[in-house]
Homo-oligomer: A and B are copies of this chain.
Amino acid sequence: MIIGSKQSIRLHAHDNVAIALSDLSQGSNLTEFDVTLLGYVPRGHKVAIKEIAKGDNVVRYGQVIGQATQAIAIGEHVHVQNMGMGAHLQDYAFSKSSEPLPPISSPRTFNGFHRENGKVGTRNYVGILTSVNCAGSVARFIEEAANKSDFLKDYSNIDGIVPIVHSTGCGMSSQGEGYQTLHRTLMGYANNPNFGGILLVGLGCEVLQVSSLVDRQEPSAAFRYMSIQSEGGTRKTVEKGLQELHALASEANKATRKPAPVSQIMVGMQCGGSDGYSGITANPALGYASDLLVRHGGTTILSETSEVYGAEHLLTCRAVSEDVGKKLIDRIHWWEDYCARNGGEMDNNPSPGNKNGGLTTILEKSLGAVAKSGNSPLMDVYQFGETIDKKGFVFMDSPGFDPCSVTGQVASGANIIIFTTGRGSVSGYKPTPCIKLATNTEMYHRLQEDMDLNCGDIVTSGISIEEKGSELFELIIRIASGEETKSEALGYGGVEFVPWQIGAVM
């Protein structure tokens, strides 16, 4: 049990409930809100800090999570006995809460790598992309040969060589969504601004042909390709690959960091190994930083569709248009079919355990995850790995599985990943740096060498969501400008490329 400096926490300035940070007895005084408890409130449960009339909204994270089913007095425990989710909260209310946040005009910049297409990288890697698992070892051999020859000493502006290796690319149908998803993902990596050059390696006889990736990506000073079977086997491909890498690196090395507006930052938001603190510390702090970045003209991406399921109303009401809201609903329907045909089912309803923990409605439960996205309007909805071409807050469809979801975000163009974790996930996603936020102080101290920022002090030291979100915003700018994340320092990113494999393995 973490003992904090506060007894409760309010997650957004508009909230009319606070969350108890420990079991609180009747008569306890929440000095921070000048509220005296009218009854016992268990840890994690809600207490009214404003009067709520019967039928009025209950607001948490600045968002409606239900309505009072009877009048609720200040200091009263708010839960199933006096709160519910009216039917109108279960309609999509497309675009009803999509007020743009006030833009911030003060020009903030970071130092990034400006690419020819106008995008800006936060890193300058040379990638060795593979069309199929069968080319993965050769991609790694080329990297090893480069490292052995002290390749990078002549290329001081390059951050490293990154083999992008995976488990698929053959034994699959050459049409349909499985193929299209993988194709989009590989094209997305080739085009991520954190790569200054790409060497594409195939085997030759695979379903996903190198030529299908080359059609839309002409060979250039920043893009080369080859196939092992054409080159004459492993050794010859590695030798030629090393030459190609030198050509790519000479070109990529010309790039240097130059000031760019923070609107060029695209953040993929992710949570993994969540705990009871995720929804009250790291996720809302990230939500605050997301709103700040959006107000500066930047882009933030929410994903993990399976964690929004059943509470998609949280996002449809924030959609800038009914069309955008309906794109999300289309994906939800796709997921229902996807799970059904795979013998699974999605169900995000608060379980008895969730209710014991203080979560009253499905909206409130999913808000723990959605809180990462703050309160900005939802500008568009994208497929997994689809190029994101809008500014502001957007949604990209993906599973909740961390490496897979992040892979889609990087393919969509993310040049920063922010990953909140309660249990302590350790991972990296080259070419994109990944900032780890600890949701609780105990884990932060235990895994300090892996965590970039402690959000547990929101509970343990009374830091406000706004302070923490602002701190994170500054950290984003420093990391985008080249400061190393913990996972980069440790060398992560060699095995975390996980394309979403959809469909039968044949």
The digit string for A480-506, where 1 denotes a CB below 8 A from any CB of B, is 000000000011111110101111111
Q: Is A28 part of the binding interface, using a Cβ–Cβ cutoff of 8 Å?
A: no
A424, B498: Cβ atoms closer than 8 Å: no
Q: Which of B204, B404, B449 contacts A423 (CB 8 A)?
A: B204
Q: Is A344 part of the binding interface, using a Cβ–Cβ cutoff of 8 Å?
A: yes
B342, A495: Cβ atoms closer than 8 Å: no
Q: Which of A140, A166, A173, A424 has the most CB of B within 10 A?
A: A424
- Residues of chain B contacted by A504 (CB below 8 angstroms): 338-339, 342, 344, 399
Interface-located stretch among A130-138, A322-330, A466-474: A130-138
Q: Which of B173, B176, B338, B501 contacts A501 (CB 8 A)?
A: B501
Q: Is A167 part of the binding interface, using a Cβ–Cβ cutoff of 8 Å?
A: yes
Q: Is A170 part of the binding interface, using a Cβ–Cβ cutoff of 8 Å?
A: yes
- Knowing A167-B403, A447-B233, A506-B399, say if A344 contacts B137 (CB, 8 Å): no
Query: How far is it, in angstroms, between the C-alpha of A427 and the C-alpha of B491 when the chains are bound?
Result: 25
Q: Which of B204, B342, B495, B496 contacts A341 (CB 8 A)?
A: B342
A401, B506: Cβ atoms closer than 8 Å: yes
Which residues in window 343-400 of A have CB below 8 A to B?
A: 343-344, 346, 399-400
B233, A446: Cβ atoms closer than 8 Å: yes
The digit string for A265-278, where 1 denotes a CB below 8 A from any CB of B, is 00000001100000
Smallest beta-carbon distance A496→chain B, Å: 7
Q: Is A414 part of the binding interface, using a Cβ–Cβ cutoff of 8 Å?
A: no
Q: Is A56 part of the binding interface, using a Cβ–Cβ cutoff of 8 Å?
A: no
A229, B423: Cβ atoms closer than 8 Å: yes
Query: How far is it, in angstroms, between the C-alpha of A11 and the C-alpha of B446 when the chains are bound?
Result: 66
A306, B506: Cβ atoms closer than 8 Å: yes
- Knowing A233-B448, A235-B449, A426-B228, say if A496 contacts B133 (CB, 8 Å): yes
Query: How far is it, in angstroms, between the C-alpha of A346 and the C-alpha of B505 when the chains are bound?
Result: 12
- Residues of chain B contacted by A173 (CB below 8 angstroms): 343-344
- Residues of chain B contacted by A447 (CB below 8 angstroms): 229, 232-233
Q: What secondary structure prevails in chain A residues at the interface with B? A: loop
Q: Is A40 part of the binding interface, using a Cβ–Cβ cutoff of 8 Å?
A: no
| A232 to chain B: closest residue by CB | B446
B205, A137: Cβ atoms closer than 8 Å: no
Q: Which of B165, B203, B503, B506 contacts A400 (CB 8 A)?
A: B506
Which residues in window 195-238 of A have CB below 8 A to B?
A: 203-205, 228-229, 232-235
- Knowing A140-B494, A447-B233, A448-B233, say if A401 contacts B170 (CB, 8 Å): yes
- Knowing A447-B229, A447-B232, say if A176 contacts B344 (CB, 8 Å): yes
Query: How far is it, in angstroms, between the C-alpha of A503 and the C-alpha of B171 when the chains are bound?
Result: 16
Query: How far is it, in angstroms, between the C-alpha of A343 and the C-alpha of B425 when the chains are bound?
Result: 35
- Knowing A342-B504, A399-B171, say if A233 contacts B449 (CB, 8 Å): yes
Q: Is A141 part of the binding interface, using a Cβ–Cβ cutoff of 8 Å?
A: yes
Query: How far is it, in angstroms, between the C-alpha of A171 and the C-alpha of B502 when the chains are bound?
Result: 13
A426, B233: Cβ atoms closer than 8 Å: yes
- Residues of chain B contacted by A272 (CB below 8 angstroms): 134, 205
Which residues in window 423-450 of A have CB below 8 A to B?
A: 423-428, 446-450
Q: Is A172 part of the binding interface, using a Cβ–Cβ cutoff of 8 Å?
A: yes
A495, B343: Cβ atoms closer than 8 Å: no
- Residues of chain B contacted by A244 (CB below 8 angstroms): none
Known: A173-B343, A228-B424. 6 other contacts (CB 8 A): A138-B426, A172-B401, A233-B448, A344-B504, A344-B506, A401-B506
In the complex, the 3 A-B pairs of residues with the closest C-beta atoms, listed nearest first: A171-B401, A136-B495, A342-B504
